[in-house]
Amino acid sequence: MELVAIDGLSVTEAATALGITPLLARVRLHRARVRMAEGLAEAVPVDIERFVQQPSETLS
């Protein structure tokens, strides 16, 4: 995740650097993002309703 998010590499470039296939790199990146989101959700409880736009608030 660091190679993509911090270092700015594409998934394909990160895969090459790690010596794995781009498909495996995408899977690992997805799993890392899920784990990070779950960890953040536990560490920082947020009232998600504050950030979700209600149907009546949508633009016409």
Ordered per-residue pLDDT tens for the chain, 60 residues? 899 989 999 999 999 999 999 999 999 999 999 998 888 888 877 666 676 666 555 555
- CA atoms in the 13 A half-sphere facing the CB of 5: 8
Task: Output the pLDDT for position 56.
Answer: 58
Task: Output the pLDDT for position 57.
Answer: 55
DSSP state of 52: S
Task: Output the pLDDT for position 18.
Answer: 96
Task: Output the pLDDT for position 42.
Answer: 80
Q: How far apart are CA 10 and CA 34, in angstroms?
A: 19
Q: How far apart are CA 43 and CA 52, in angstroms?
A: 20
Q: State whether residue 3 is helix, strand or coil.
A: helix
- Indicate yes or no: pTM above 0.85: no
| CB-CB contact of 28 with 14 (8 Å) | no
Structural domain boundaries of the chain? 2-43
